[in-house]
Amino acid sequence: MLKLENIGHFYGNRQVLKNINLEVARGELFGLIGPTGAGKTTLLRIIDLLETPASGVMYFDGAKVAATGRGRLDIRRRMAFVLQKPVVFNASVYDNIAVGLRWRRQSRSRISQTVEPLLEVTGLKALKDKNARTLSGGEAQRVAIARAVAVSPELLLLDEPTANLDPVSTLRIEEMIADIYRRYRTTIIMTTHDLAQGRRLAGRIGVLVNGEMVQAGKAEAVFSMPHNRQVAEFVGTENIVPGVVASREGELAVVDLGGTLIEAVSDYGVGGEVYALIRPEEVMLAKQRGTSSARNWLVGVITGVDMAAMPARVNVDCGFPLVALVTRASLEEMGLKPGQPVYAGFKATGVHIIERPG
């Protein structure tokens, strides 16, 4: 469906995209995540042919996209792009949704056949005749999405569709995107800085940091096995502990984390300088050394408990600082308090080892 090869772009002297390579298959919902200013919007603008990249080649449906010329409008008409800050035209909700079809010179009856069902799907039927300018942010975003879907795009680009929305509107938009994806099987590329949202909605995810696609793959893989420290930090891996591979036996490596030895599944050789990534939700806490299958049990002291977080966060000092997520119920049952000794356990497969550049 879409293939990008070595796309690079500058704003003035600042390089905003570096060598982006990406392939998105037809029918896929691809999530583009990354911190604000990483270049996500620029990449979408280039894909939608609103901007011409400084370097690189784009293929749409197998054909190379020319840098200039009338052909760009024809290709752009096979896509639709919902901007982060939705703008609605000074017209009724119905006319807003119909505008792309009118530009394609479709008949009045054809337009009505498309727009009416979309009003249902997006829950805008009651607002149909209202001036779109008078809508709330969430409603305007729904109009913007409906307006984009109305032109039956082969590729739908959504830029931070829930940024600046309240939680209820966010949920509603997410449901709408999932519904549209199920119903029309449109290929979707959606950016978000909300990791959880990317994880919920997207099948595959690309992580964009400082204009570079640092990792792309199945959502679960990106979250559980980040390629490097940057991705790990961005996807919310809180326990990133520097260490050295001390010994190994088959797949199993013993890693020395500043004097504390843990076992982990890894193929780094002995002496390799690494980071051990331990996801907080993989860490179990117990008053006695647990009997579960976890290979790693570390003794530590609780240094802090955050009850306000859901689930609660417990900070443990076990030679290195370790964050564990525990349900509030088990926290209360165990009566864990700062200053108490505790055992922290996690499986060898719960640790992800990445290279630590020297």
Partner 1 sequence: MDELWRGFTQGIGLLVSLDPEVMEVAGRSLLISLSATIIASLVAVPLAAVIHLNSFPGKRAIITVTQALFSVPTVVVGLFVFVLFSSAGPLGGLNLIFTPTLMVIGQALLIAPLILGLAISALSGVDRAYVDTARSLGAGGLQVAGVILREARFAVVAAVIMGFGRAVSEVGLAIMIGGNIKGFTRVITTAISLETSKGELELAIALGIILLIIALVINIGLSRVQQRA
Q: Which residues bind partner 1 (CB under 8 A)?
A: 45, 48, 50, 73, 76-77, 79-83, 85-87, 89-90, 99-100, 103-104, 144, 147-148, 151, 157
Q: Which is nearer to partner 1, 146 or 342 (CB)?
A: 146
CB of 104 to partner 1, least distance (A): 6
CB of 10 to partner 1, least distance (A): 15
CB of 4 to partner 1, least distance (A): 18
CB of 34 to partner 1, least distance (A): 21
Measured in whole angstroms, how far is the alpha carbon of residue 94 from the centre of its chain? 32
Q: Which is nearer to partner 1, 24 or 88 (CB)?
A: 88
Helix, strand and coil in the chain, % to nearest 5? 30, 35, 35
State the DSSP string of 59-128: EETTEEPPSSSTHHHHHHTTEEEE-SS----SSBHHHHHHHHHHHTT--HHHHHHHHHHHHHHTT-GGGT
Q: Which is nearer to partner 1, 85 or 337 (CB)?
A: 85
Residue 239 identity: N
CB of 35 to partner 1, least distance (A): 22
Local structure of 33: helix, strand or coil: strand
What is the CA angle 140-142-144, rounded to 5? 70
CB of 139 to partner 1, least distance (A): 16
Q: Which is nearer to partner 1, 71 or 258 (CB)?
A: 71
Contacts of 29 (CB under 8 A, 6+ apart): 181, 187, 188, 190, 201, 202, 203
